[in-house]
Amino acid sequence: MKIADVRATTVTVPLEAPLRHANGAHWGRFVRTIVEVETDDGIVGLGEMGGGGESAERAFAALKRYLVGHDPFRVEELRFKLCNPTASLYNNRVQLLAAVEFACLDIVGKALGRPVCDLLGGRLRDEVEFASYLFFRHPNPTTGAGEVRTVDQLVAHALELKERHGFSTHKLKGGVFPPEYELRCYRALAEELPDDRLRYDPNAALPLEDAIRFGRAIEDLDNDYLEDPTYGLHGMRQVRAAVRVPLATNTVVVNFEQLATNVRDPAVDVVLLDTTFWGGIRACVKAAGVCETFQLGVAVHSSGELGIQLATMLHLGAVLPNLTYAADAHYHHLADDVITGGKMPYAAGRILVPDGPGLGVTLDRDKLEHYAELYHRLGDYPYDRDPVRPDWFALVPNQSWADPDKVTDVAQIPGLRELRRSVEGAAW
């Protein structure tokens, strides 16, 4: 079997409301590149990439010359064909490799009639638990609903998500408002959700002293971990020495060199495995093995996903023996998906691991076309800018926080009318 063709289609899929984070915002939608790798005997494997608000179509077109003629069963070889660590210094292709790996594993699974988790050691669980991913959100321009800015709005949002999807772990994405305000928000969540677990992630935006102050102020709560409170392995090491809460990262341990450093001189306790950032599902499984050996925790990270990427996270979550934390996903913020059957449902905060061959998801061609067309109308967006603070960009550490008393003027966010028109019957 050989790869005969590689196709990439950029889509933009609306979110229920624009999501704010430490560097800017998702402007009411995700931009994702859907990859289809076709073999000479007609099997099509699916991959997905994105998150930064831009299309990767041209990058995948450039990979075609490397991939056509390659046997998709030879997945390990691709690491060196595409990502040899010295040959790819000019063209870093780790995230491209990940999408191609997803597609090749999908092909192999389809060829063998087995789900991808069976290629990775076999499933240890049939469903994966997820945390509610709580963002501060700009409001929906039509209804004014969906805004999360005040403490009361945040608590109501968490309770509603718990009611709707059954979450019992909650992650607050911070780094937007001043740390003392976000501390009030976090403690309010703990008070209103006394039986649930919490985690806080300001995307490494806090100065070291504020990170330590925040960590010490939540030591009495039921924390999973404090995620990237400040930037850098050395900064995290200093927080870890000063705070009695486990530290997690998806920022400073995202490859094997950094993992080795963290084993020799620990800076974090929990490594968040992202199937895109690490270069594929298999790399995450290998990293989890290192973490198991050295008694580091692991969890499944979300860098934004539609159903194809979510399937990679589910197959990863299914096979990790040392997965003791709920996974993260942006998925419940999406208004729609491009896979057949629509969005995968949560039950009791969990999603079933697909059991069809390969990744176990198929493309809904009408949806793909619809959201590709929407992308052609709206184009990219700058993920690392906030549309309502157009002159601001984040320093590391950040020194200019958004004002929690300032009501968002949604007219400043372009494209929202188009988004509203694009999702029939959804929250827009």
Shorter beta-carbon distance to Mg ion: residue 133 or 401: 133
**Residues with Cβ within 8 Å of residue 381, at least 6 apart in sequence:** 27, 29, 31, 53, 415
81 catalytic? Reply is no
Which candidate, 196, 188, 154, places its Cα nearest to that of 173? 154
Q: Is 301 a catalytic residue?
A: yes
Range list of β-strands (E), 76-160: 127-129, 132-137
Separation in Å, CA 393 to CA 201, 210, 300, 385: 19, 20, 28, 6
Among 9, 12, 33, 250, indicate the residue that binds Mg ion (CB under 5 A). Answer: 250
Q: Tell me the closest approach of the beta carbon of residue 201 to Mg ion, in angstroms.
A: 4
Shortest separation between residue 341's beta carbon and Mg ion, angstroms: 29
Contact 199, 225 (CB under 8 A): yes
Which residue out of 301, 315, 330, 333 is catalytically annotated? 301
Query: HSE-up of 16 (CA within 13 Å, CB side)?
Result: 16
Sign of the CA dihedral with 370 first, then 374, 380, and 382 last:
negative
Q: Which is nearer to Mg ion, 97 or 270 (CB)?
A: 270
Q: Please, which of residues 186-205 interact with Mg ion by CB under 5 A? A: 201
The 335-374 site mask, x for binding Mg ion (CB under 5 A), equals ----------------------------------------
* By CB under 5 A, residue 118 contacts Mg ion: no
Least Å from the CB of residue 229 to Mg ion? 10
- How many residues touch Mg ion under the rule CB under 5 A: the total is 3
Residue with Cβ nearer Mg ion (9 or 250) = 250
Paired tokens of 351:
């999603």
Which among 21, 171, 173, 367 is annotated as catalytic?
Answer: 173
Q: Which is nearer to Mg ion, 140 or 250 (CB)?
A: 250
Binding range to Mg ion, per CB under 5 A, among 38-46, 85-93, 224-232, 283-291: 224-232
User: Per the structure block, which two tokens stand in for 424?
Assistant: 């029939």
Please choose, out of 189-197, 242-250, 283-291, 390-398, the segment that lies near Mg ion by the rule CB under 5 A: 242-250
Compute the Cα dihedral for 61, 380, 366, 133 and give only its sign: positive
CA-atom Rg of the chain in angstroms: 21
Paired sense of beta strands 350-352 and 29-39, if any = unpaired
The rounded distance, in Å, linking the Cα atoms of 361 and 214 is 41
Closer residue to Mg ion (CB): 34 or 131: 131
Minimum distance from residue 346 beta carbon to Mg ion (Å): 21
What is the smallest separation between the CB atom of 323 and Mg ion, expressed in angstroms?
17
Residue closer to Mg ion, measured from CB, 15 or 34: 15
CB of 271 to Mg ion, least distance (A): 12
CB of 292 to Mg ion, least distance (A): 22
How is residue 271 written in tokens? 């490594």
The stretch near Mg ion (CB under 5 A) out of 99-107, 179-187, 245-253, 262-270 is: 245-253
Count how many Cα atoms sit within 13 Å of the Cα of residue 413 in the half-sphere of its side chain.
Answer: 28
Q: In this complex, which beta carbon is closest to Mg ion, that of residue 39 or of residue 250? A: 250
> Which contacts qualify for 384-388: CB closer than 8 Å, 24 or more apart?
384/23, 384/24, 384/52, 385/24, 385/25, 386/20, 386/24, 386/25, 387/18, 387/25, 387/27, 387/412, 387/413, 387/414, 388/138, 388/412, 388/413
Give catalytic residue positions: 173, 301
Applying CB under 5 A, the residues found at the interface with Mg ion are 201, 227, 250
